[in-house]
Amino acid sequence: MKVEFFSAECKLCTRTYVMLSHRFPHVDIIVHKASECRDGSCCALSEQYGVRAVPSLVVDGKVVLVGLPQEQDWARLEHILGRAGDSPVS
């Protein structure tokens, strides 16, 4: 399972990443930061996935979250990420 996070490094992006990493510590999240994209590869990748806003979470090439997770998002994310790597979830 490939999990990627697209970030503009704003307060909302940072808060979302912190929430996700605390809720799913067993998941390796690849972070694509706008400030680190020098060659345009992040732009091409975001276009490929259909990322239109940040923060966005992409799992196996599909956008599964845009923006700060709301209460209704956690069950869906638990279903998607809860068993990643066959690691136990606390």
Could you say which DSSP state residue 8 is in?
-
Asked whether residue 90 is assigned to any structural domain, the reply reads no
Strand partners for 57: 5, 65
Write the pLDDT tens digit of every residue in 17-75. 999 999 999 999 999 998 888 787 778 899 999 999 999 999 999 999 999 999 999 99
**Domain presence at residue 89:** no
Chain center to CA of 45: 13
Are 6 and 50 contacting, i.e. CB atoms less than 8 angstroms apart? no
With respect to residue 47, please indicate whether it lies within any of the assigned structural domains. yes
Length of the chain: 90
CB atoms within 10 A of CB 64: 15
Whole domain around residue 62: which residue ranges? 3-83
pTM: 0.85
